[in-house]
Structure 1
Amino acid sequence: MKALQYIWMCICILPFLAGCDTKQDWIDTGIASPYHDCSIMEYLRRDKYNWELTVEMIERADLTDLFEGNDPDYKEITFFAPPSYSVLRYLWDDNKEAVNELTPEFCREMILNHVVKGKILKSDIAYRNPDYSITDSNQDGGTDLMCLGGNRLKIYVDKSPYAGVPDAGPETLYLYSFSVRNHVPLATPDIQPLNGVVHALNYNYILGKI
């Protein structure tokens, strides 16, 4: 069963995860190209290790056209993509073994809660005002988003110090969900297939906490 395969993969990577900092920063090295000459759906299908169960949820939700760029109302989308490990963890917690045990309605709701109309790159995202928390009424930073599922998010960039110099370190991209009051760090932003952009959520993300 696919679930058992993922269990063994998780067991294999646990020693590595245990020794790693769970904070995942992005640094633009300028080496790897973020561009992919294919649709978002094809990009996800090509990387089964990271996205196999995510793809199964999209297909179960009957949202393939949206992710292939064939929906005339959504020629470009931004996908805050939950990795297969997030889907697998949800299946474990719900005592299920496969995505096809989830209802199409549930899959559709979950996927659309991670999709925004249009192409939003990290360069479009405002920094958080460090004088206030992201939920403070005085917070004038970050960028407000409304997902196709109807949930409201704020995406923002945080700066960090380096060698005692303020704001000289790596920059971290976060989502804040007003629906579940949860902060979600992004692992890899600005993956750009032809019909939009994918911002990969990290392996610690819990499906539905957005």
Structure 2
Amino acid sequence: MTIHLRRLSALLLVGTMLLLSACTKYNFVETGLAQREYPGSMWAYFESHPYDWSMLVRISKRLGLQSTFEGSGTYGSQITCFGITNHSWRRYLLKQYADEVTNNGGDGEAEAQRLTDDQILGLLDQLDATKAKEFILNGIIPSEAIPLESFIPGRASTNSSNPIGTGGKTYTMASGKQLWIYSFRTAFNSVPGTGPEQLFLVSASTQVTSFVASHNIRTQTGIVHSLQYNFRPTDF
């Protein structure tokens, strides 16, 4: 009898552990609550993840913005960065190149598709410095490291002539541009307010709403929120 009870207790313990591990996996996959910690500066984080950030690193070096991400620049020792990934830079550069070729009578899309990675980096190096700096600084909140959970909840505008909805907060970015930023808990299984919390950024000047793909990448000099891959640098 004692042996059977011990076996039953062992089975219950294993079952409980499996259940808890399943819940942990569910929270990670479905709710997006996982927070990554990087034991270094934001600049070091960008350098260590070239798949997403090599273009931001490359152009920031040319513009002298490295200190901004190292916490020693004019925007404070802690910043919030809505980061533009390689995919967004690449799409922007290819679109600009295709438009230029088309305007000169060529097949812009075909020419753009033939560009090599080195040629695309060449386009990045030729990007106007003032414009490129504005793109990056548009996504930086100075002197504050703000996680997802600290942004004010809000609701999207239902007024087609005014993109600013209710709640949220308007932030002045490092470039001087103002963005209305709000969090919103989306639906899950068609039930409103039960899904993962998302972060939305709205530009009154362009009337474009963008959202964050990956939240709360914590570094020693601030927090990175990675913008969606189809974000365009001109959306702000």
Q: TM-score w.r.t. structure 2 length? A: 0.70
Identical positions, percent: 25
Q: Partners of 1:26 and 1:126 in 2: how far apart? A: 22
Provide closer, same or farther for how the CA distance between residues 39 and 72 of structure 1 changes in structure 2, counting only shifts above 3 A: same
Aligned to 2:45: 43
Q: Partners of 2:207 and 2:163 in 1: how far apart? A: 13
Matched length:
183
CA contact (8 A) 2:155 2:182 kept: no
CA contact (8 A) 2:151 2:183 kept: yes
Residue 141 of structure 2 aligns with an amino acid whose one-letter code is V
Residue 59 of structure 1 aligns with an amino acid whose one-letter code is K
Deviation at 1:177, TM superposition (A): 1.1
Aligned to 1:179: 205
Aligned to 1:155: 181
Residues 1:126 and 2:152 aligned together: yes
Question: Which stretch of structure 1 is more off in the superposition, 193-202 or 89-98?
Answer: 89-98
Provide closer, same or farther for how the CA distance between residues 162 and 27 of structure 1 changes in structure 2, counting only shifts above 3 A: closer
What does the per-residue CA deviation read over 1:168-204, in whole Å, with 9 as the maximum and x for residues that have no partner?
Answer: 1222221111121110011001101101110000111
Residues 1:207 and 2:233 aligned together: yes
What does the per-residue CA deviation read over 1:33-64, in whole Å, with 9 as the maximum and x for residues that have no partner?
Answer: 52111111110011111111111121121111
Aligned to 2:26: none
Greater helix fraction, Structure 1 or Structure 2: 2
Deviation at 1:27, TM superposition (A): 2.3
Q: Partners of 1:103 and 1:162 in 2: how far apart? A: 43
Residues 1:27 and 2:64 aligned together: no
Q: TM-score w.r.t. structure 1 length? A: 0.78
SS at match of 1:203: coil
Residues 1:60 and 2:79 aligned together: no
CA contact (8 A) 2:84 2:226 kept: yes
Residue 66 of structure 2 aligns with an amino acid whose one-letter code is T
Q: Partners of 1:208 and 1:26 in 2: how far apart? A: 30
CA radius of gyration, larger in: 2
Aligned to 1:76: 78
Residue 180 of structure 2 aligns with an amino acid whose one-letter code is K
Aligned to 1:88: 90
CA contact (8 A) 1:26 1:172 kept: no
Q: Partners of 1:156 and 1:171 in 2: how far apart? A: 10
SS at match of 1:79: strand
Residue 49 of structure 1 aligns with an amino acid whose one-letter code is Y
What RMSD in Å do the two structures reach over aligned CA positions? 2.4
Residue 174 of structure 2 aligns with an amino acid whose one-letter code is L
Structure 1, unaligned runs of 5 or more: 1-24
Aligned to 1:165: 191
Provide closer, same or farther for how the CA distance between residues 164 and 84 of structure 1 changes in structure 2, counting only shifts above 3 A: closer
Residue 139 of structure 2 aligns with an amino acid whose one-letter code is H
Residue 135 of structure 2 aligns with an amino acid whose one-letter code is M
CA contact (8 A) 2:201 2:210 kept: yes
Deviation at 1:29, TM superposition (A): 4.1
SS at match of 1:37: coil
Provide closer, same or farther for how the CA distance between residues 60 and 141 of structure 1 changes in structure 2, counting only shifts above 3 A: same
Residue 110 of structure 1 aligns with an amino acid whose one-letter code is F
Aligned to 2:18: none
Residues 1:104 and 2:129 aligned together: yes
Q: Partners of 1:42 and 1:174 in 2: how far apart? A: 26
Q: Matches of residues 3-22 of structure 1 in structure 2 within 5 Å?
A: none
